[in-house]
Chains A and B, each alone.
Chain A
Amino acid sequence: LNPEQLLYAETHEWVHLEDKGGQKIATVGITAHAVEQLTDLVYMELPQPGSSVSSGTSFGEVESVKATSNLYSPVTGEVVEVNSDLPDNLERLNSDPYGSAWIMRVRVTDEDALAKLMNHTAYAKQIAG
Chain B
Amino acid sequence: MAVDQMLLDQAGASPDALPTLRFYRWKPATLSLGYFQTLESRNSHLASSGLDVVRRTTGGGAIVHDRELTYSLTLPLADRWAAAHRLLYDLVHQAIIAVLDQYGIVAGQYVRGSDWRDPASDRDFLCFLRRTQGDIVLKGYKVGGSAQRRSATALLQHGSILLGKSGYAPELPGICDLSIRSPDDKSLISGIIKELSAKLDVEPEIPDQTDWECKTTRNWQLSRFGNDGWTGKR
User: Which A residues lie at the B interface, using CB under 8 A?
Assistant: 11-12, 33-34, 37-38, 42-43, 45, 56, 61, 63, 65-70, 72
Contacts and interface: CB of A to CB of B under 8 A. Distances in A.
Contacts of B57: 68
A43 B148 CA distance: 14
Given A43-B36, A43-B59, A67 B85 contact: yes
A67 B122 contact: no
Contacts of B83: 37
A67 B89 CA distance: 11
B150 A70 contact: yes
Nearest to A43: B36
B122 A68 contact: no
Query: Per DSSP, are chain B's interface residues mostly helix, strand or loop, or mixed?
Result: loop
A56 B122 CA distance: 33
B148 A68 contact: yes
A76 to B, nearest CB: 16
B132 A69 contact: no
B152 interface: yes
Interface of B: 35-36, 57-60, 80-83, 85-86, 89, 122, 132-134, 146-152
Given A12-B81, A33-B81, A43-B36, A67 B152 contact: no
A34 B81 contact: yes
A43 B37 CA distance: 10
B152 A68 contact: no
Given A43-B36, A43-B59, A66 B82 contact: no
Contact of B59 (A56, A68, A70, A72): A68
Contacts of A69: 80-81, 149-150
Contacts of B85: 67
Nearest to B83: A37
A66 B81 contact: no
A72 B152 contact: yes
Given A68-B57, A68-B58, A63 B36 contact: yes
A43 B147 CA distance: 14
Q: Which 9 A-B pairs have the closest CB atoms?
A: A67-B148, A37-B81, A68-B59, A63-B59, A69-B150, A43-B36, A34-B81, A68-B149, A37-B83
Contacts of B35: 61, 63, 68
Given A12-B81, A37-B81, A43-B36, A66 B132 contact: yes
A58 to B, nearest CB: 8
A67 B36 contact: no
B59 A67 contact: yes
Contacts of B82: 37
Given A12-B81, A37-B82, A43-B36, A67 B151 contact: no
Nearest to B155: A67
A65 B81 CA distance: 14
